[in-house]
């Protein structure tokens, strides 16, 4: 049993996040219908909101590559990248893992700096010029 009266705010927030993530995992660990996925998405939004993760768009869905994917346009595009994600990938985001998280890329063991400008990913080159991704 956990004595929540003795926990600090940080400990309570970590406990809340862990409980929310575990509940999502237990409830949604297999294939689901669209209505189930949409209900799950609403619950996931609440978890993400509790964690301070914000987005401009997380409403649209589409059948892609044999599964339902949701369009995510996160507010903080330095840490998180926009794109079409499965519910499992969005769950990973709630655990600070997965493809939503921006990872520093390396080329020939040199760290590259990527910036997002109006949704376009830009890498600043050593001479101060920029290169568009894709």
**Tens-digit pLDDT profile for residues 107-131:** 544 445 666 666 676 666 665 555 5
SS3 per residue for 5-39: HHCCHHHHHHHHHHHHHHHHHHHCCCCCCHHHHHH
Task: Mark the ranges of the chain whose per-residue pLDDT is less than 50.
Answer: 108-111
Averaged pLDDT score across all residues of the chain: 81
Q: Cβ of 68: how many Cβ atoms within 10 Å?
A: 17
Provide the residue ranges of all domains of the chain, joining segments of one domain with +: 4-103, 104-134
**Amino acid 113: pLDDT:** 60
Which residue shows structure tokens 């991704």?
133
């Amino acid at each position: 049993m956990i004595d929540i009266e003795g926990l600090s705010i940080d400990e309570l927030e970590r406990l809340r996040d862990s409980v929310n993530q575990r509940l999502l995992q237990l409830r949604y660990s297999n294939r689901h219908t669209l209505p189930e996925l949409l209900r799950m998405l609403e619950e996931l939004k609440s978890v993400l909101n509790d964690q301070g993760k914000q987005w401009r768009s997380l409403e649209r869905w589409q059948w892609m590559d044999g599964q339902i994917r949701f369009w995510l346009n996160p507010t903080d595009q330095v840490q998180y990248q926009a794109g079409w994600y499965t519910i499992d990938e969005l769950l990973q985001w709630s655990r600070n893992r997965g493809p939503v998280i921006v990872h520093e890329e390396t080329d020939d063991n040199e760290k590259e700096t990527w910036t997002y400008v109006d949704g376009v990913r830009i890498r600043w080159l050593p001479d101060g010029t920029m290169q568009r991704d894709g």
